[in-house]
Structure 1
Amino acid sequence: MVSGIEDRVMVSRLLDKAEQCRYSSFVYSDFLSPHEAVIAKRVLDKVEGVFYTFMGGFEGAERVMAAMSSDFIDEEEALDNAPISYLRITPVIDKDLSHRDYLGSILGLGIKREKVGDILVYENYGDVFLIDKIAEYISYNLDKIGNTKVECELQQVYRYTPPERKEKIINTTVASVRADSVTASGFGMSRTKVMEYFKAQRVNVNWEPVSNPSKQLSEGDVISIRGKGRILLDKVGGTTKKDRINIIIKRFE
């Protein structure tokens, strides 16, 4: 189900790209948010004669583009042809820059959000994944982030070493695998506090907004709270003597 003007526009563009598969070996969408990628998968599953995969420049990327073809897709070949580059942006002086700082300065150059993939912030630099042509443009035009001078180095994605994902394993028990119960355990919050996030519509399950705290979850479901990170319900086990359910949660930091 597609709701919202932005989602409908995205789907329309995606279907236009899928139609182009008849005339090209590979066709690529712009970068999609995790929510948009869920919708894109549903849409493309229903399009006959179109094969697809998702990629963002490295394994585990959150923002991805859809690679489409009218023939079976070799993922390595699709990545080799993907119009993705990344910029390594380094402050000239020691300065802690945030994800928001990098994104704001890039969008300030007139770049649309869908042309920008993941932004990975490290202690002394940031790596920004971009559509090829946009990456080249930014490398020539971005010299400051805020008031901080920066240097940009254009890189090819095949040279990129994915970052290690920091995660915390939580072994716990819950009365049920309701969304509010699992969320409270995973984020270490009270049920009262979690309910506030549900009411504020800040909770997503598998990248889609969820307002019903009693929603039943399954293994593999990803729960995120805007501004707080995300968790994965990794395993649902048996019950204890007190009829509580053993679960394993991964919290990503």
Structure 2
Amino acid sequence: MTRQLKGGNQLDSAVFQHFRPEERPFIERINDWRNQAMNEYRPILTNFLDPRQIFLIETVVGKVDDSFRYWQDGGYNQSERRRVIFAPGYFTPESQDYHIQLFEIKYPVKFATLSHGRILGTLINSGVDRSQFGDIITDGETWQFFGVESMASFFEEQIVKIGSINVRVEPVPILDAVKPVVDWQEESIVATSMRLDTIISETFNISRQRAKELVEDQRVQVNWSVNQHPDFQVDLLDMLSVRKFGRVQVLDVLGRTRKERYKLKIATLRRQPLSY
């Protein structure tokens, strides 16, 4: 994947009109990464980015140019969260250039049950930034996660319990990654607007008022951050997590109905017992 940033070394102010005000710092970082790679003539590696951030990179970065490229990897082909390398045209990265380490969580399988939510909560509550680790995967029994290579000692020494379960985190080769059990389902919905509460209401078949209450009660995250604004405008590849319901991501806007409602293609991961 190769793209060139629009506008040379500087971003045109018009670029920001297409994105949310709160996304402006990240868009400026995209330009900084690109400039650093070009000015220092070396690859620049990011931490793990979420799907929306990667979408912003792909949107802001323009036509292909042999003088500048960017690459991305999350440890396996279907990864959601990925590290990105911005580099001069001469550079072609190898797997080790992403400095991604796979970690396996050892726990008493016969006597305990882990879940994505419990593992995620433990990692975040340990004080590590979300950008320091990527996807959490499982084949139904074995649990693994991808992390920044330099954080290996931290994960090994600090993650010794998940809830009341004693665990041990061990680095393992990337090639030992399990084949993830993927329960995402593609669906289509029709929504009157792109409001956060409306998307939640239509996806999980609950009332608009109930969806509004979930948002205001801090039970909804957008791109892994709590969002308490029911009127927040959801955009492409935003990841919505609704506690006790599951996750939803808007994949595409398919058009409008005669009544000007949005026809949306979404991916859903509906909650299973002990999953969140």
Q: CA RMSD in A?
A: 4.6
Q: Distance in 2 between matches of 1:167 and 1:107?
A: 23
Work out the number of aligned pairs and report it: 244
Structure 1 unpaired stretches of 5+: none
Normalization by structure 1: what TM-score?
0.67
- The equivalent residue for 1:89 is 105
Is the CA contact 2:239–2:249 (under 8 Å) kept in the aligned structure 1? yes
Is 2:143 aligned against 1:138? no
Q: What is the alpha-carbon distance in structure 1 between the residues aligned to residue 31 and residue 105 of structure 2? A: 30
Segments of 5+ residues of structure 2 without an aligned counterpart are 1-15, 271-276
Measured against aligned partners, the alpha-carbon deviations of 1:84-108 in whole angstroms (never above 9, x if no partner) come to 0110112135222344543455456
Structure 2 residue 248 is matched with structure 1 residue 230 = yes
Residue of structure 1 equivalent to 2:95? 79
Are 1:252 and 2:269 counterparts? Answer: yes
Aligned equivalents of 1:216, 1:101: Cα separation in 2: 26
Does 2:202 correspond to 1:188? no
Distance in 2, Cα, partners of 1:110 & 1:231: 27
The equivalent of 1:15 in structure 2 is 32
Letter in 2 for 1:61: S
Matches within 5 A, 1:61-76: 61-71=79-89, 74=92
TM-score by length of 2: 0.63
Pair 1:129-2:146 in alignment: yes
Residue pairs, 1:1-253, within 5 angstroms: 1=16, 8=25, 15=32, 18-20=35-37, 22-23=39-40, 25-41=42-58, 50-71=68-89, 74=92, 77-92=93-108, 94-103=111-120, 105-106=122-123, 111-120=128-137, 123-139=140-156, 142-170=159-187, 174=190, 176=192, 178-179=194-195, 182-197=199-214, 202=220, 204=222, 211=229, 213=231, 222=238, 224-227=240-243, 228-232=246-250, 236=254, 249-253=266-270
Separation (CA, whole Å) in 2 of partners of 1:178 and 1:144:
39
Structure 1 vs Structure 2: percent identity of aligned residues? Answer: 19
Task: Give, in angstroms, the shift of residue 131 of structure 1.
Answer: 0.9
Cα contact 1:11–1:40 (8 A) shared by 2? no
Moved more, 98-107 or 122-131: 98-107
- Aligned counterparts of 1:141 and 1:246: Cα–Cα separation in 2: 46
Q: Structure 1 residues 73, 231: CA separation in 2 closer, same or farther (over 3 Å shift)?
A: same
